[in-house]
Chains A and B, each alone.
Chain A
Amino acid sequence: MAFLGMGKRVALPEMTSEEYFTAGQGRLIWQRFKANRTARFALYVLAFFVLCGIFAPFLSPYDPTAAGRNADYTNGAPQVPKFCDVNGCSLRPFIHGTERTRGPETNFRWVTVQTEERTYLTFLPRVAPYRLFGVIPMERRLFGAEEGFVHLFGTDAQGKDIFSRTLHAVGVSLAVGTMGVLISFVLALIIGGVAGFFGGWIDTVLQALMDTVKAVPTIPMFMAVAAFMPESWTSEQRFFFISLALGFLGWGTLARRIRTHVLAERTADYVLAARMAGARPFHVIRRHLLPSFTSYIIVDLVISFPYMVLAETSLSFIGLGLKDPVNSLGVMLQNTTRVDVLLNYHWYFIPVPIFVAIVLAFVFVGDGLRDAADPYSERR
C-alpha cells in the first residue's frame, strides 16, 4: 500500500528533482542533515572545538605544562583584553598589569590592577620552538603579550595558563574518545557482524560475551585498571592505556546493535534477491549488508562519542584516569573540586561550559545524523 507517503518523496531545497532522484545515500543524508538547523549549528560548534583541539599548540599562547607557567601570577584571575581605559583608547588590545601584596595582618593576598600600566597583545609572536602534531616545527603562536604573560582564562595554583590548558584538554579528550570509539568500533563490527551473519551457536557464545562485558561494573573495573597502571608510566602511556580500556569495555552495546542490524538485513528481500543473482556471502556482505548500515554505524559512533569523552572525564575526575600534569577535560574538572577554588577562584570553572558544549554538540550532531540517515524515515 505504501506509495511514497507524505514526506517520503520530498525534494529537498537546493536540489532539482532530477538531482534528488539521482542522489546517492551520502548526499541525501547530507541534504537532510543540512535542513536540520540545530544539528547544523551543533556541527559548526563541534568543528570549532575539534579544530581548537587539533591546533591547540598554535592557538594557545603558552605551554600547558609547568614549562609554560607564570610563576608571578599563580591563581590569577582572567585578564580581559581591552581597547579603552581611563587613559584613552588604542587600536591594539591591551591588558593591565597587576600587583600583588600580602596584607601583613592576615597574610591575605591582595591584587591591585595597575590601570596605568598597559601590556599590549601581540599576534604571531616568535616563541620557543615547538612541534605542531609532534612533527611540524613551529616557532610562532597565534598571540601573546608584548612583555610578560596574558591569561584569558586566568591561571591555576602553579601559574599554568588555563586557556592553554583548556585547548589542549579538548584535544586530549577528543583523542582519547576517538581512540576508544575506534577500538570499540572495530571490535563491535567484527564480533557483532559475525554473530549476526552466522547465527546459531556462534551467535549464542558471542552474545554471552557481549553480556559479560556489559555486566562488568565500570567503577571497580577502572579502579583495578588504575591500580594496575604503574606510577612510573609516562603520561603518554597512561593516555594510551586509558583509551584502550575504554575501547575494550565500550563495544558491547554497539556490537549488539550491529548484530541486530545484520540479523534483520540478512533476511531482507534484497539480500535474497542478491543471492538469486548468484552472489556469494562475501559479496552480499560487502555490497549489500555493509552499505545498508554504514550510515547507522556512523550515527552510532557519533552518538557513542560523547559517552567515551564522558567516561574519560569521569575517570579522570575521580582520579583514576589521567593525572594532573596531563591535560584532559576530566583533569580540568577535577581541579574545580577544591574548596578554595569553589570560594575564590571561579575561573577554574571556565572549562566546564566548554565540556558541556562539546558533549551537547556531539549529541545534537548524532541525533541529526540519525534522523537524516534513515532513507525511509517518517519526517513528521
Chain B
Amino acid sequence: MGGLLTVRDLTLRFSTDEGLITAVDGVSFDLEPGEVLGLVGESGSGKSVTAKSLMRLNSGNARYGPESRMHLHLDGEDIDILALQGARAMRKVRGDIISMIFQEPMASFAPAISIGAQMVEMLQLHRGLSRKEAKRRSVEMLERVGISEAARRFDQYAFELSGGMRQRAMIAMALSTRPRLLIADEPTTALDVTIQAQVIDLMKDLVREFGMAIIFITHDLGVIAQTADRVAVMYLGNIVEKGPVADVIRRAGHPYTRGLISALPKLDDLDSPLMPVPGDIPSPLERPSGCVFHTRCPVAEARCRTVIPETRQLRSGHRAACHLNAADEVAL
C-alpha cells in the first residue's frame, strides 16, 4: 500500500451516563500523499469525531471499537495510531505528521501568548529548530499565507487580528512544521464569503506548494467541489458514499447525497425549487436500525429498515452504501 493513511472499520462510541452513544460506525478510507479528501456531513454526522480520532484528540470517554485500525505509512515506517501511548509518542500524530486547523481560530491560539512565540515553540518542539531559525521560519510562513507586515504581526496576540487574518495565522502555524497531513475542520464556515474565497484559494496554493494531504471537513458541498479531489459523505457516523468529487456530485449514488445536492440553492438555476431532505436528523440515542438513512429516505424499502446495506462499487473508485444501487448499476 503506497498510501499515507489507511483507516479501517473505525468505530467510536462515547460512554456517557446514559450509555454508549455511537459517533462513528465502521468508517474506512485511504488517503494518498498530497490528496485532498473532503469529508461532508451535517451536524451529528461524526465527521469531526473521525478526524479528531486521527490525532487521538477525542475526550476520555471515547471508546474505540476492537476492529478499528488506523495506520500512517511514512517512508517505510508504519505508525499504528491507536497503539500510541503517552504524550511523547502522541506528539507524532499531534503536530509532527498531522496538524489541524479549526473553525474558530481563537481555539488554537493561547490568548496570553503572542502568535510568534507559539509558532516558535511549535517548531522547537516538533522540528528541534533553534530559536533563531524557528523565528525566521515563522515569519516566512506568516508572509507566505499573506499576512502583511509579518515581522510585526509576529509579536501580536490572536485577539488583535481580524477574523480572516487569524485564520491565515492559524494556517501558517499548522503548516510551519511541514506536516504530511492537515486536518481542516470547517476552516471557512465562520468566515464571510469573500474571505472564505481568499482562504480557499490560499489552501489550494499551499497544497500544491507543500504537497501535503488534507482532510477537509465541511458541511458545504460547494466548498468541497472547489477544494477536494475525493469526497466522503457521512451520515450518522457512517460513510454512505465516497468517490472522486466530480463523479459524486454529478452522479450521486446515495439518496442522501442526492438530497444534500438538491437541497442546495443553485445560482445557475434560480427557478429550481429547493428540495429539503424530509424529516429531522435522528438523535444519536435513537440510531435507526438497518440503513441509518431510512427514516428520511424518499426511496426506502422494507429491507432498508432491517438490513444494513453493504458498500458497493458504482464506478471506479466511487462507492455507495445503498440497497437500491444494485438495481441502479444494472440500469447504468
Contacts and interface: CB of A to CB of B under 8 A. Distances in A.
A264 interface: no
Contacts of B225: none
Contact of B16 (A1, A2, A3, A10): A10
Contact of A6 (B14, B17, B42, B189): B14
B23 A5 contact: no
B268 to A, nearest CB: 27
A41 B17 CA distance: 17
B285 interface: yes
B244 interface: no
A169 to B, nearest CB: 37
A2 B44 CA distance: 9
Contact of B285 (A1, A9, A379, A380): A9
Nearest to A378: B59
A1 B61 contact: no
Contacts of A6: 14, 16, 21, 23, 284
Contacts of A3: 42-44, 281
Contacts of A11: 18, 285
B219 interface: yes
B131 to A, nearest CB: 37
B85 interface: no
Interface string B3-20: 000000000001011100
How many chain A residues sit at the interface, stated as a range, is 10 to 19
A68 interface: no
B25 to A, nearest CB: 14
A1 B42 CA distance: 8
B14 A7 contact: yes
B162 interface: no
B43 A380 contact: no
B60 to A, nearest CB: 8
Determine the main DSSP class of B at the interface with A.
loop
B283 interface: yes
Given A35-B17, A379-B17, A10 B43 contact: no
Contacts of A9: 283-285
A4 interface: yes
Determine the main DSSP class of A at the interface with B.
loop
B150 to A, nearest CB: 32
Contacts of B60: 380
A9 B21 CA distance: 11
Contacts of A1: 43, 186, 189, 219
Interface in A177-233: none
Interface residues of B, number: 19
Given A1-B189, A380-B61, A7 B18 contact: yes
A235 to B, nearest CB: 47
Interface string A15-44: 000000000000000000001000000000
Contacts of B14: 6-7, 380
Contact of A10 (B42, B186, B219, B285): B285
A281 interface: no
Contacts of A12: 17-18
A13 interface: yes
Interface string A81-104: 000000000000000000000000
A254 B246 CA distance: 59
Nearest to A7: B16
Contacts of B16: 6-7, 10, 379-380
Most buried by A among B18, B60, B61, B186: B18
Interface string B251-284: 0000000000000000000000000000001011
Given A6-B21, A11-B285, 14 more contacts: A1-B219, A4-B44, A5-B44, A6-B16, A7-B16, A7-B18, A7-B21, A9-B284, A10-B16, A12-B17, A13-B18, A379-B17, A380-B16, A380-B61
23 contacts: A1-B43, A1-B189, A1-B219, A2-B43, A3-B43, A3-B281, A4-B44, A4-B283, A5-B44, A6-B16, A7-B14, A9-B283, A9-B284, A9-B285, A10-B16, A10-B17, A10-B18, A10-B21, A10-B285, A12-B18, A380-B14, A380-B16, A380-B61
